[in-house]
Amino acid sequence: MKKYLVVGTGFSGAVLARQLVEHLPDCEIDIIDSRDHIGGNCHTERDAKTGIMLHKYGAHIFHTNRKDVWDYVNKFASFGNYKHRVIANTNRGIFSLPINLLTINQLFQKKMSPEEAKIFVRNLGDHTIHEPQNFEEQALKFVGKEIYETFFYGYTKKQWGCEPKELPASVLKRLPVRFDYNDNYFNDPYQGIPVNGYTDLIANIINHSRIHIHLNRPFIKESDSSKYNHIFYAGPIDGYYNFSEGRLSYRTIYFERIDAIGDFQGNSVINYTSMNENFTRLCEHKHFAPWESFETSVVYKEFSKETGESDIPFYPKHLVIDKEIFSKYNAIAMAEENISFIGRLGTYRYLDMHHVVEESLDFARTVIECIRSKSCIPSFSVK
Ligand code: UDP
């Protein structure tokens, strides 16, 4: 029997472990997590007081345009129909997100048609910017100063703790801008939330006689490295190398709980986009499960800060300095033979759950082929 170690019980480790045991009859997998629960930052649990399903590390909405990815997660859980709609509380009033025709007409107090709005917004854009080099330029080029300042500047500064011009343009490219009244936050055709939560979904993925789960079990490099044929590591890559090339920057999120009666805010997520408040958003968790009903309510006020040594990293920042540091870790990792880095933290990328599932399914195919042909397993899950 070959023995593999998977470090981390989030989506990347869970999907990979499952695919490996299903396709390789002669292997056993230990999957470990330093926390006392599986699921990583997707972890959900029912609140002991109210029974509401809480997304303990913030809102997670599963969405994908890949049918195979959607079919895969649906094999392990039943998904409730949930369409994500976000409201913006700004210093100009309350608006609908992502930026859509209602947002544009209300902000500028107009009654434009889609075509008129397209021309209007195009004229707001800064045409002196040709190739946007950062978040701010991306916003100014495509939506102009007024929309940028109302919806993006303050939120982004609070969320990332730096000026938006220090961030890559790709962060803003996550958000659609629409010229119709569609206010679905995502473009993907498949969208939902598992009715029994993400922890249950991930527990089902790793429920297999040859996958052994160990919680409260940190990775110990000295002893673990020699015990396994290969290690798949979903923790932060800089931590794995004991920060030898420097610390990569991540933002972490922390929450303040508000208990309420009835409907607190009328929507699952309200973003606070100005600098007048020091938090980024309020999430009212019962609205993530519209198929359930509760008289009470639990709201998480979400704050963002730099990740300290004992904090859980959430968002890779990807500043210029991070790119330099990461390239050093990348070079060291590429020379390794018995470890592969996977997932958001292992590969230091701002990935969503569906990206991670997609990538783990693809990577598992590569790993299986390598094992069968006795060739070297790649150091990263990313192609
Ligand atoms: N963003 C913003 N204002 C908003 C929502 C998002 O400026 O009201 C920016 C912000 O920089 C954020 C990024 O767009 O980090 C991506 O937003 P998304 O909602 O995808 O963030 P996530 O849900 O992953 O935290």
Residues 349-358: pLDDT tens digits? 999 999 999 9
Per the annotation, the verdict on 281 as an active-site residue is yes
From the list 18, 178, 344, 349, the catalytic residue is 178
Residue 315 pLDDT class (50, 70, 90 cuts)? very high
Confidence (pLDDT) at 383:
79
Structural contact between residues 169 and 291, judged by C-beta atoms closer than 8 angstroms: no
- pTM value > 0.85: yes
Domain ranges within the chain, ordered by starting residue: 2-38+206-244+316-373, 86-174
Confidence (pLDDT) at 137:
97
Confidence (pLDDT) at 151:
98
Per the annotation, the verdict on 251 as an active-site residue is yes
383 burial (CB, 10 Å; 0-12 / 13-18 / 19+) is exposed
CB 171 less than 6 A from any atom of ligand 1: yes
Per the annotation, the verdict on 181 as an active-site residue is no
20 burial (CB, 10 Å; 0-12 / 13-18 / 19+) is buried
Q: What is the mean pLDDT of residues 267-296?
A: 98
- Asked if the model's pLDDT at residue 327 lies above 90, the reply is yes
For 84-107, the pLDDT digits (tens) are: 999 999 999 999 999 999 999 999
Confidence (pLDDT) at 224:
95
179 CA to centre of ligand 1 in angstroms:
19
Confidence (pLDDT) at 255:
98
93 CA to centre of ligand 1 in angstroms:
18
Nearest to 275 by CA among 53, 91, 11, 50: 91
Amino acid at 307: T
311-327 burial code (b ≥16 CB/10 A, e <16):
ebbbbbbbbeebeebbe
For 158-184, the pLDDT digits (tens) are: 999 999 999 999 999 999 999 999 999
Per the annotation, the verdict on 178 as an active-site residue is yes
Per the annotation, the verdict on 263 as an active-site residue is no
From the list 185, 241, 254, 350, the catalytic residue is 350
The closest-lying atom of ligand 1 relative to the alpha carbon of residue 350 is 24
Nearest to 288 by CA among 187, 183, 175, 192: 192
CB 314 less than 6 A from any atom of ligand 1: no
Amino acid at 159: Q
Assigned superfamily of 2-38+206-244+316-373: NAD(P)-binding Rossmann-like Domain (3.40.50.720)
DSSP 8-state assignment for residue 150: I
From the list 251, 284, 322, 344, the catalytic residue is 251
Q: What is the DSSP code string of 288-304?
A: G-TTS--SEEEEEEEEE
